[in-house]
Amino acid sequence: MKNPKTLVRRTPWPETASRPVGTPLQPSVVYASESPDALDAQYEGRTRGYSYAREGHPNADVLAQKIDALEGAEGGIVLGSGMAAVTAALMGVLKSGDHVVGGDQLYGRSLRLLTQDLPRFGVTTGFAPVTDAARFAAALRPTTRMILLEVVSNPTLRVADIEGIARLARERGILLVVDNTFTTPRAIRPFEHGADIVLHSVTKLLAGHSDATLGYVAAQDPALRQKIRDFAVTTGLTPSPFDCWLAERGLYSFELRYDRAEATAAKLADALAGLDGVARVLYPGRTDHPDHMRAEILLGSRCGNMVTFELDGGREAANAFVRAAGDIPFAPTLGDIGTTISHPATSSHRALSPEARAALGITEGTFRISVGVEPAEVLIDEIATAVQATL
Ligand SMILES: *Cc1c(COP(=O)(O)O)cnc(C)c1O
């Protein structure tokens, strides 16, 4: 290939006796094989190789293996978004006639998938509070095939009775699916608590830099794993190699980021609780959180990087707070390397009526802070100054 006859032929990669330290980025959509025999060998599993990027590519596999190691999983796959992971876990497994019970404070789009989309395919759904296994039991039907829950809910940070619900699921032969986005494997590894399927929005804490949209899903049972994978490949839930590359790079610092943000979150929660203008603070690590005992047992000291609090003054105070906290992005996400502030009443929970929000404990004064890695003193000072501006 010294002098190719046409520029259209690809030039081979230069020979090198050394290896790159950084993970290579491979954007190729297709992979060429040596011969039809070689392709047969690959499709029949005698050799390993890639063929077409929708079916898998190296950057997705490198990332999936890393998250597998964190979760204590095997054969997990990376998909194009957290919602792609939720969709694959549910639609790849359920069939018409099945019933699903979700936690009543699921992520907004997961709720929507359960209430609006699955019923169009003959899957019926119900909801129950995740803090109460008895009420979960009451929501089950003979056709219930799956339970979907998040360990810590948004934005009130309620902690699921995952042990009680996992016991129910086991007794009734129901699959337990856990969305571990908020908690991450740093706080809990749901497979060790009876989950059958674990999924993530990798977009959030795992990737950690708000520059890649990705999901992850892993199943304990190899047959389920295959179903989910086939559904994802057929429906094209494939991730971009570049996003996978970014997320894998983000993971190098995940544990450092998480630990730092979590330590700051605990300090911020205590600082907020002492401020005039703050009606209440919700942080599972505080003894005044309704699920503090369960958080201690389930998560130990790993109560996460999210802090929710309520301002005394309603919408007016909310506007004043966000304006005064100018340097901290007011943005509907979480898990970024830097702190972000969200206002559930106008973002994640805007579709609910004020009454429905009130039932969940969300008012016009409720804010959820996703704490980042900036120094605790800097952040606490910024937030306290912004709270002061609401008085
Ligand atoms: C963000 C999020 C999702 C959806 O993830 P995307 O990557 O935005 O599709 C699902 N579950 C939880 C708990 C989330 O926070």
Which residues are known to be catalytic?
A: 54, 107, 179, 204
The minimum-distance atom of ligand 1 relative to the CA of 86 is: 10
The minimum-distance atom of ligand 1 relative to the CA of 150 is: 13
Residue of 383, 389, 257, 379 whose CA lies nearest to 309: 383
**What's the pLDDT at 326?**
81
For the chain, the average pLDDT equals 96
CA-nearest residue for atom 1, ligand 1, is: 201
- Asked if residue 323 has pLDDT above 70, the reply is yes
The minimum-distance atom of ligand 1 relative to the CA of 83 is: 9
**What's the pLDDT at 25?**
98
* Alpha-carbon distances, residue 150 vs 100, 159, 162, 383 (angstroms): 14, 8, 9, 28
Query: What phi and psi, each to the nearest 5 degrees, are found at residue 203?
Result: -45, -35
**What's the pLDDT at 328?**
97
Cα-to-centroid distance, 191 and ligand 1 (Å)? 19
Mean pLDDT of the region 163-185: 98
pLDDT per position as a tens digit, 333-345 = 999 999 999 999 9
Distance CA 99, CA 204 (A): 29
* Cβ within 8 Å of residue 362, ≥6 positions away: 155, 156, 344, 345, 349, 352
Rounded to a whole number of angstroms, the CA Rg of the chain reads: 23
Q: Give the helix ranges, DSSP H, for 274-333.
A: 292-299, 314-324
**What's the pLDDT at 355?**
92
pLDDT per position as a tens digit, 80-139 = 999 999 999 999 999 999 999 999 999 999 999 999 999 999 999 999 999 999 999 999
CA-nearest residue for atom 5, ligand 1, is: 82
Kindly report the number of other CB atoms within 10 A of residue 138's CB atom.
11
Q: Would you state the structure tokens that stand for residue 347, as one six-digit string? A: 């973002």
pLDDT per position as a tens digit, 232-262 = 999 999 999 999 999 999 999 999 999 999 9
Mean pLDDT of the region 296-302: 95
Cα-to-centroid distance, 19 and ligand 1 (Å)? 36
**What's the pLDDT at 351?**
87
Span 254-388: which CATH code? 3.90.1150.10
pLDDT band of residue 1 (cuts 50, 70, 90) is low
The answer to whether 204 and 247 have CB atoms below 8 angstroms apart is no
pLDDT per position as a tens digit, 61-87 = 999 999 999 999 999 999 999 999 999
pLDDT per position as a tens digit, 370-388 = 999 999 999 999 999 999 9
| % the chain with pLDDT above 70 | 99
**What's the pLDDT at 12?**
87
- Asked if residue 222 has pLDDT above 90, the reply is yes
- Mutational pocket test of ligand 1: of 107, 150, 211, the residue with most ligand atoms within 8 Å of the beta carbon: 107
Query: What phi and psi, each to the nearest 5 degrees, are found at residue 321?
Result: -65, -50
The CA dihedral of 32, 34, 40, 43, to the nearest 10 degrees, is -40
- Mutational pocket test of ligand 1: of 78, 200, 203, 237, the residue with most ligand atoms within 8 Å of the beta carbon: 203
- Mutational pocket test of ligand 1: of 63, 104, 109, 211, the residue with most ligand atoms within 8 Å of the beta carbon: 109
Biggest CA-to-CA distance, the chain: 76
Which residues are registered as beta bridge partners of 340? 370
> Which one of 3.40.640.10, 1.10.1370.30, 3.40.1550.10, 3.30.1480.10 gives the CATH number of domain 36-251?
3.40.640.10
pLDDT per position as a tens digit, 21-75 = 999 999 999 999 999 999 999 999 999 999 999 999 999 999 999 999 999 999 9
Distance CA 165, CA 171 (A): 10
Ligand 1 cavity residues, CB under 6 Å: 81-83, 107, 110, 150, 179, 181-182, 201, 203-204, 213, 215
Domain ranges of the chain: 36-251, 254-388
> Residue 40 in 3-state DSSP?
helix
